[in-house]
Homo-oligomer: A and B are copies of this chain.
Amino acid sequence: MSTTYRVTGMTCGGCSKSVTAAILEAAPGAKVEVDLGNKAVSVDGASEAQVKQAVDAAGFGFEGKV
C-alpha cells in the first residue's frame, strides 16, 4: 500500500527523477510515483522516516502525509 506525501520544490522532470533516485537509494525496493502538479510523491515500500530523510537530503521540502 502506498502512502502519499507532500514534497515542495520540485519543478521539472529532473527534480522528480532526483527525488525518486534519493528515495530508492534509501529504500532500494520501493515503488515511487511523483505527481509534480500536485507536489505529491506516493511511495510503497519505504518508511515515512526514510522518505523524509531522502527528500531532505536531496534538497526538497518534506511536508508530511497528504
Within 8 A of B (CB), among A1-26: 9-15, 17-22, 25
Contact of A9 among B17, B22, B59 (CB under 8 A): B17
| Contact mask for chain A residues 29-63; partner B; CB cutoff 8 A; 1 contact, 0 none | 00000000000000000000000000001111000
Main secondary structure of the interface of A (DSSP, over half): helix
Verify B21–A14 contact, CB threshold 8 A: no
Please report the C-alpha to C-alpha distance between residue A18 and residue B46 in the assembled complex, in whole angstroms.
20
Verify B14–A10 contact, CB threshold 8 A: yes
Verify A59–B11 contact, CB threshold 8 A: no
Residues of A within 8 A of B (CB): 9-15, 17-22, 25, 57-60
